[in-house]
């Protein structure tokens, strides 16, 4: 089963054949949200990619055991070990308790997942509820010489890790420079790039979420939560670990170091990272503040599944720039697609051989490093295939929608944003004027500009209209 699935592995920087440790079960860990604010649509792009990965593997017949954490403690405002805890900062800004903040944004996150047809991982674990697991791991790492207590904190000694630089591809000098640039030399650390496993009160006096530990009252570092939760629920070996590309360093690099130190062997075989969604000004990030959330998108007239369709149109490893024009095209295409599917006549007999032929093609597209745009193309190929009857087309698309999850068999109109519609009409007006002025160069330029955005102008005797291309 699934012998020919190929996945890009960030660890080896190659597309590799995927082979799970247990031939039937895939153990998959995906880093969850930091719940001090709403997820932005960039975060959600990563969860969509992970959802397709899980469902694609299930489509191939694997049983996917997936675990996700909820970061409700320990992630500081800086990726190095400095700054305020993100949760505490969120609570301070909103005048609520950390627990209220965590609870509110965790619920909001699950609501987003539901709206995007993202399957909830079978195991969801809050970082704050697994303190004993981290303490027990840290104790063992200290015993085995991988970690040390110094000046109030417990650190991981990166010089003891076997392949510390493999995942990030960074070199030790780069890391040293990075560490020196960002904070003044920390005398407590053996190596400047050592990271904290456990913080104690001595450093963070006002911290609200804190627990007793052998090293004093304090709280865990950010990275240990994922190693702890993954090991508790998925055991000593992982098949796949996912996250956004920004997680490669330091988060996943440190997860590998801790887990391999703790277990004494290689921990996870495949590391899959999704590229970022950018806005016009660059990477979308929670800390930048004014980011696009799913509910903002909805208030602008886009349904969550249009966003899912927009994401599936590009490969998960390619950066994607959020553009409203592209969302309008996605809205239009999805409506058209659903209209075609729901109009299919469902009487008659299923053509088994053709059905299997397309299922294979769909599986191949997924197996080729999750080629979602090709998976969508196959949906269109099915609709166009004159040798298929309607029932077979319908059943195929319904089957593919187990992975695509776009509600393709449900009749729904996606509203095209009026503002954008207005913009196109204005461009048409400008082009008409240019033609009247005999400025054909400008007229053609306007037409080509629209065409490059997937908007085709149609000149008729009654005037110019437009069509958004599939």
Residue 195 forms beta bridges with which residues? 156
H or E element at residue 153:
strand 153-156
296 binds ligand AMP (CB under 6 A): no
Q: Min. distance of Cβ 251 from Zn ion in angstroms?
A: 5
Query: In 31-180, where do the E strands start and end?
Result: 63-70, 123-126, 147-150, 153-156
35 binds Zn ion (CB under 5 A): no
Spatial contact of 278 and 320, defined as CB atoms under 8 Å apart: yes
List 283, 296, 324, 340, residue binding ligand AMP (CB under 6 A)? 283
Integer-rounded Cα radius of gyration of the chain: 25
Nearer to Zn ion (CB atom), residue 67 or residue 375? 67
332 binds ligand AMP (CB under 6 A): no
Query: Beta strand pairing status for 218-220 and 268-274?
Result: unpaired
Spatial contact of 50 and 33, defined as CB atoms under 8 Å apart: no
284 binds ligand AMP (CB under 6 A): yes
Spatial contact of 414 and 303, defined as CB atoms under 8 Å apart: yes
Nearer to ligand AMP (CB atom), residue 277 or residue 306? 277
Nearer to ligand AMP (CB atom), residue 157 or residue 279? 279
Q: Which of 433, 436, 427, 437 is nearest to 465 (CA)?
A: 427
- Total site size for ligand AMP, rule CB under 6 A: 19
Query: Which segment (39-47, 262-270, 326-334, 381-389) binds ligand AMP by CB under 6 A?
Result: 39-47
Spacing of C-alpha 227 from chain mean position: 19
Nearer to Zn ion (CB atom), residue 287 or residue 373? 287
230 binds ligand AMP (CB under 6 A): no
250 binds ligand AMP (CB under 6 A): no
121 binds ligand AMP (CB under 6 A): no
Nearer to Zn ion (CB atom), residue 226 or residue 408? 226
Task: Please give the Cα distance from 218 to 198 (Å, whole number).
Answer: 7
Query: Which segment (187-195, 203-211, 238-246, 336-344) binds ligand AMP by CB under 6 A?
Result: 238-246
Token duo for residue 302: 């886009």
Spatial contact of 109 and 35, defined as CB atoms under 8 Å apart: yes
From the list ligand AMP, Zn ion, none, which binds 226 (C-beta under 5 to 8 Å, kind-based)?
Zn ion
243 binds ligand AMP (CB under 6 A): yes
From the list ligand AMP, Zn ion, none, which binds 133 (C-beta under 5 to 8 Å, kind-based)?
none
Backbone angles phi, psi at 463, to 5 degrees: 135, -170
Spatial contact of 203 and 282, defined as CB atoms under 8 Å apart: no
Task: Please give the Cα distance from 262 to 280 (Å, whole number).
Answer: 43
Spatial contact of 77 and 86, defined as CB atoms under 8 Å apart: yes
Query: In 330-454, where do the E strands start and end?
Result: none
375 binds Zn ion (CB under 5 A): no
Task: Please give the Cα distance from 182 to 303 (Å, whole number).
Answer: 41
From the list ligand AMP, Zn ion, none, which binds 325 (C-beta under 5 to 8 Å, kind-based)?
none
242 binds Zn ion (CB under 5 A): no
Query: Which segment (212-220, 276-284, 373-381, 445-453) binds ligand AMP by CB under 6 A?
Result: 276-284
Query: Which segment (27-35, 170-178, 409-417, 437-445) binds ligand AMP by CB under 6 A?
Result: 27-35
The site for ligand AMP (CB under 6 A) is made up of: 31, 33-34, 42-43, 45-46, 71, 243-244, 246-247, 274, 276-277, 283-286
The site for Zn ion (CB under 5 A) is made up of: 31, 226
């Amino acid at each position: 089963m699934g012998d020919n699935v190929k996945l890009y592995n960030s660890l080896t920087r190659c597309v590799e054949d995927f082979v799970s440790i247990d031939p039937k079960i895939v153990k998959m860990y995906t880093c969850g949200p930091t719940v001090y604010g709403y997820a932005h649509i960039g975060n959600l792009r990563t969860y969509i990619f992970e959802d397709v990965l899980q469902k694609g593997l299930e489509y191939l017949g694997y049983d996917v055991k997936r675990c996700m954490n909820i970061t409700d403690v320990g992630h500081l405002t800086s990726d190095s070990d400095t700054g305020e805890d993100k949760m505490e900062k969120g609570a301070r800004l909103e005048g609520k308790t950390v627990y209220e903040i965590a609870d509110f944004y965790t619920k909001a996150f699950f609501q987003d997942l539901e709206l995007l047809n993202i399957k909830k991982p079978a195991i969801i674990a809050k970082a704050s509820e697994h303190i004993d697991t981290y303490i027990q791991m840290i104790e063992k790492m200290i015993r085995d010489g991988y970690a040390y207590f110094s000046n109030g904190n417990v650190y991981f000694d990166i010089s003891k890790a076997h392949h510390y630089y493999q995942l990030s591809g960074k070199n030790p000098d780069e890391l040293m420079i990075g560490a020196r640039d960002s904070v003044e030399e920390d005398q407590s650390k053996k190596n400047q790039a050592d990271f904290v496993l456990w913080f104690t009160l001595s450093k963070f006096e006002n911290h609200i979420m804190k627990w007793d530990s052998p090293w004093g009252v304090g709280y865990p570092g950010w990275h240990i939560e994922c190693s702890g939760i993954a090991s508790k629920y998925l055991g000593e070996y992982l098949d796949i670990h996912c996250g956004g590309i920004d997680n490669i360093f330091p988060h996943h690099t440190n997860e590998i170091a801790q887990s391999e130190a703790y277990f004494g062997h290689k921990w996870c075989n495949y590391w899959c990272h999704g590229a970022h969604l950018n806005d016009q000004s660059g990477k979308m990030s929670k800390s930048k503040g004014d980011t696009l959330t799913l509910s903002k998108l909805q208030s602008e007239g886009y349904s969550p599944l249009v966003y899912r369709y927009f994401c599936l149109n590009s490969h998960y490893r390619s950066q994607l720039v959020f553009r409203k024009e592209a969302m309008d095209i996605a809205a239009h295409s999805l409506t058209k697609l659903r209209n075609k599917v729901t109009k299919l006549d469902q009487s008659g007999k299923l053509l088994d051989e053709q059905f299997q032929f397309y299922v294979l093609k769909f599986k191949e597209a997924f197996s080729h490093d999750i080629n979602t745009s090709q998976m969508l193309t196959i949906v269109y190929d099915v609709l166009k295939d004159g040798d298929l009857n309607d029932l077979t087309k319908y059943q195929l698309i319904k089957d593919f929608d187990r992975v695509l999850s776009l509600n393709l068999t449900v009749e729904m109109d996606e509203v095209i944003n009026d503002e954008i519609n207005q913009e196109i009409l204005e461009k048409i007006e400008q082009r008409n004027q240019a033609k009247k002025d005999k400025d054909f160069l400008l007229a053609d330029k306007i037409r080509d500009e629209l065409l490059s955005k997937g908007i085709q102008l149609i000149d008729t005797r009654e005037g110019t209209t437009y069509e958004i291309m599939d």
